[in-house]
Chain A
Amino acid sequence: MDIVLYAIGALLALALIFGAILGFAAIRFKVEGNPIVDQINEILPQTQCGQCGYPGCRPYAEAIANGDAINKCPPGGQATINTLADLLDVEPEPLDAEHGQESITKVAFIREAECIGCTKCIQACPVDAILGAAKQMHTVISDECTGCDLCVEPCPVDCIEMRPVDITVRTWSWALPQPNHGKAGLIATDLRGQTV
């Protein structure tokens, strides 16, 4: 009987010790903020375009952390959805067409001859990628442009257009080889007797 009591006593003592250690660790190594929001925000493309219905990437990241759908980001496209699904351990879904379609990377372009220098687009740009001053011609710093589209709407003379980013010698890369139709996935001996 004593042995049982000793065992219980020892276990209780251990439980108390480890409980104390855990409690201390919980306070000592407390993580500030919500790291998942930062992680989600890292994955989002930071165009700040608002196509998801939130006023920027971070608000959407917060919304996702609070359970919103992960397929509302057209600029990020399927790749972002897959990465998010991976991170959050959920099933990747196709892009929600309601919020737009995945398109090739574009940047804003100001037809400078038509610009009247109203600065409206400058105020709209979330990343300060438009250069200009009142009554001076504006231009887009295309390297900084995220292609968010937000400057097109405010332009009173419709002189801003979205142009696809050209692939140059320096941005080009090889394409993945296309699997051969019909014969793909077959080894040489499998081809024997096939009517293809």
Chain B
Amino acid sequence: MNAIVKSPHQDIQSPVAGSQVIASSERKIWPLTGGVHPEENKHQSTSRPVSVPPLPETLVLPLSQHAGLPADPLIRVGNKVLKGQMIAKASGFVSAALHAPTSGTVTAIENRPIPHASGFYDLCIILETDGQELWCQLAPVADYRQLSPAELVEKVRDAGISGMGGAGFPTAIKLAPGTAINTLIINGTECEPYITADDMLMREKADAVIQGAEILQYMLGARECLIGIEDNKPEAITAMRRAAAGKNIDIVVFPTIYPSGGEKQLIQILTGQEVPSGKLPADLGMVVQNVGTAVAVKDAIVDGKPLISRITTLTGDALAAPQNVDVLIGTLAQDLLQYAALKTSELSTLVFGGPMMGFTVDRMDIPVIKTSNCLIAATEDEFPAAPDAQACIRCGHCAEACPSSLLPQQLYWHARAENHEQLMHHNLFDCIECGACSFVCPSSIPLVQYYRASKGAIRTQEAKHTKSERSKQRYEDRLARLEQEKAEKEAKRKANAERAAKLKAAKTAEQTGSDAKAEEDPIQAAIARAKARKAAAAAGNSEPASGRQASDRPLSAKQKELKVQLSMAKAQAKKTERALAAAEASAELKGDRKDIEQLKSNLAMLNEQVSQLQQAFDENSQDSASKDSPEKPVKVAKPALSDNEKKRKVELAMAKAALKKAERALAAAVESGFPDEQENTESFKQAVEACQANIKRLEAEASEPPAETAIPPSADAKPSAKAKAPLTDEAKKLKIESAMANAAVKKLQRAIASTGEDEQDTLKQQLVAAEQKAAELKQALESLS
């Protein structure tokens, strides 16, 4: 029976005390800090040579067999693949390609259980083997020294090689570190109990290991190459020494202690240097590669074969034939365990990896991947359930055992309190999770699980923080973008408005350009236009449209006034022109040239008036009833004077004369008193009626075409002396007023006649006032006419 691997009663031993250097070389070795000596249990699996299990029917190839991003499938379901054909390519810098371990058909790309502590499923390529083992075209390199290191690194990358020791970091990255490498260390330590894969590899393929080491040394340009082997593998040491004889390779043997096989620990043992926290071995000019990786590199370069198989230890008490097998990647654990004669009834725990750092799985349909160095089918006795954790007694054994010189006890307390800051302060991430502290803990505290959980929590926290930083950035960028868009929109709108304004301004400038000339002196312009029209009219040409443009100019108040007057004058001129044209037409019929001559002179007068309009308008705008005579000619002259109008003018003059006579008669009547008042009233009424009729007729005539009104004037113009001639509005008003005044006078006279003596005085006074008013009105009428 094998001893229990993880025993709390196992004591730690001083590494130096137990060291028995069998190394024949004089090379100095350094002791490892801390470390433990668990039961080795390696002999079970080394009694048989490495064998090749039969080809399984199905291979399950996880796309993520390495550290970094999962590989990117290159094939489709149903594709036939050849042995060694690349079926998935590296999807990034930290990634590795995947090759078909044998020829066959891809039956699925789906989620399958993978060897992972989480027990999760992940994407796998399922390959149905055809048993033909048909290789694809290989490209072996006869002499690797003919190729540059960079080309060789590319070949290693294409071969899909990742670290075979356990971590699975893509090898090509480690082979192109970017810093000068002095020392290449080949790791043949294999310190973890049970595992003998590297031991058997070195025993059986020592030449391949040495060849691989030489290629790696050439690729890295390393001065020296050390192969570190623990002293518990004498056969391997012998074989390696034989293979390395006469070569620039040192086989360094050092005392067995766990975990001497850790990268940083091995560097410390072999060189005495410590890789600083957060640094890589490359920073010290060193690269560490596993012996299995060295063989894989040799296969890839010399034989052109990609990484499609590895040596895996099948061990544990539940196996009747524990041994090492050269197994195709993707072979399921159940097939291998069957091959090693699994005693199913005794199996209690199946462990992937070693007892210290491996993980248990609860199913057997899990494939072997590039990093699977060991499968332990353990019995109940072999791996008993972990005892309950008890309180930490602060014994400090963990701190003595820690190969990284950490304080596991402090880390434990902080991990329990989830105090991430303190964990970082205590360099949690320098912990290699070797399990030495848990191994020595007398209280059976699962320390490593605390550290792993804390590391995971911190990584999650960091990922969250990174994401929140990114989100913040994106949020701020978005706000900035929205702001910018808004500003751009605003700017665009402004630009549009400006352009519109400019266009408008340009338009108005065009207008005002012409306006400015016109505005310089509108009167002058009007005169000029009138002159032009006059000239045209003189030639018998009427151009009524020419004056229109002036109407829609933007003008000041004063200019507007002028404009109104101007347009009035123009209208008159136009009317006159029309009348002239009509008169010319009728004159041709009648042969009367006199009217035309007069009209022409009228037109000339009108044009003169246009220039006098400013003053005339000002005066006109005062009292319309004012009896200022000087303006009258202008006013009267305004209506166009056709031949008919001329006739009417004559009639008007006659009527005025008649009016004067009538007024004189009226005055006489008023003076003479009341005897003939009846007659007077009658005649006055008649006169008023006649006057109104006359006015109506004259108005009608004024609005009618001039040619039609030839007859009426003589009919009504004659009547009695009281008949009123056609008058202007003012004249009409005055006449009505004077008529009213006369009527009042007559009324008063009647009243005087009918009343007594005493009342007559007041009436007489009123009569005098009325007479005075009548006299005034008469005077106004006279002056008007």
0/1 string, B450-472, CB within 8 A of A gives 1? 10111111011101100111111
**Does B116 touch A at the CB level, under 8 Å?**
yes
Please determine whether A169 and B114 come into contact, CB atoms closer than 8 angstroms.
yes
**Does B443 touch A at the CB level, under 8 Å?**
yes
Which of B388, B469, B470: most chain A Cβ within 10 A? B388
**Does B389 touch A at the CB level, under 8 Å?**
yes
Please determine whether B64 and A127 come into contact, CB atoms closer than 8 angstroms.
no
Which of A171, A173, A180: most chain B Cβ within 10 A? A173
Residue from B120, B390, B457 within 8 A of A172 (CB atoms): B120
**Does B385 touch A at the CB level, under 8 Å?**
no
**Does B30 touch A at the CB level, under 8 Å?**
no
Q: Which residue of B lies closest to A143 (CB)?
A: B467
Known: A128-B474, A169-B114, A169-B118. A44 touches B388 (CB 8 A): no
**Does A51 touch B at the CB level, under 8 Å?**
no
Please determine whether B391 and A177 come into contact, CB atoms closer than 8 angstroms.
no
Please determine whether B475 and A126 come into contact, CB atoms closer than 8 angstroms.
yes
**Does A146 touch B at the CB level, under 8 Å?**
yes
Known: A174-B456, A176-B415. A169 touches B468 (CB 8 A): no
* Residues 103-128 of B contacting A (Cβ, < 8 Å): 114, 116-118, 120, 122
Q: How far is the CA of A146 from the CA of B460 in the complex (A)?
A: 15
Chain A contacts for B114, CB-based, 8 A: 169
Q: How far is the CA of A165 from the CA of B454 in the complex (A)?
A: 21
**Does B446 touch A at the CB level, under 8 Å?**
yes
Q: Which residue of A lies closest to B451 (CB)?
A: A174
B199 to A: closest C-beta gap in Å: 30
**Does B629 touch A at the CB level, under 8 Å?**
no
**Does B477 touch A at the CB level, under 8 Å?**
yes
Q: Interface size bucket, B side?
A: 35 or more
B625 to A: closest C-beta gap in Å: 75
Please determine whether B415 and A56 come into contact, CB atoms closer than 8 angstroms.
no
Which of A177, A186, A191: most chain B Cβ within 10 A? A177
* Residues 234-259 of B contacting A (Cβ, < 8 Å): none
Please determine whether A169 and B390 come into contact, CB atoms closer than 8 angstroms.
no
Please determine whether A128 and B478 come into contact, CB atoms closer than 8 angstroms.
yes
A196 to B: closest C-beta gap in Å: 11
B489 to A: closest C-beta gap in Å: 15
Chain A contacts for B470, CB-based, 8 A: 144
Chain B contacts for A176, CB-based, 8 A: 415-416, 418, 449-450, 453-454, 457
Known: A175-B453, A186-B390. A47 touches B471 (CB 8 A): yes
Chain B contacts for A169, CB-based, 8 A: 64, 114, 116, 118, 120, 122
Q: How far is the CA of A18 from the CA of B471 in the complex (A)?
A: 46
Please determine whether A173 and B459 come into contact, CB atoms closer than 8 angstroms.
yes
Q: How far is the CA of A169 from the CA of B69 in the complex (A)?
A: 11
20 A-B interface contacts by CB (under 8 A): A46-B467, A46-B468, A46-B469, A46-B471, A46-B472, A47-B468, A126-B478, A128-B474, A144-B474, A146-B467, A168-B120, A172-B116, A172-B118, A172-B456, A173-B452, A173-B459, A176-B416, A176-B457, A177-B446, A177-B449
Seen from chain A, the residues whose Cβ lies within 8 Å of a Cβ on chain B are 41, 44-48, 56-57, 79, 126-129, 144, 146, 167-177, 179-180, 183-188, 190-191
A47-B471, A169-B114 are known; give 7 further A-B pairs, CB within 8 A. A46-B472, A127-B474, A128-B477, A169-B122, A174-B449, A179-B389, A187-B390
Seen from chain B, the residues whose Cβ lies within 8 Å of a Cβ on chain A are 64, 114, 116-118, 120, 122, 388-391, 393, 415-416, 418, 443, 446, 449-450, 452-457, 459-461, 463-464, 467-472, 474-475, 477-478
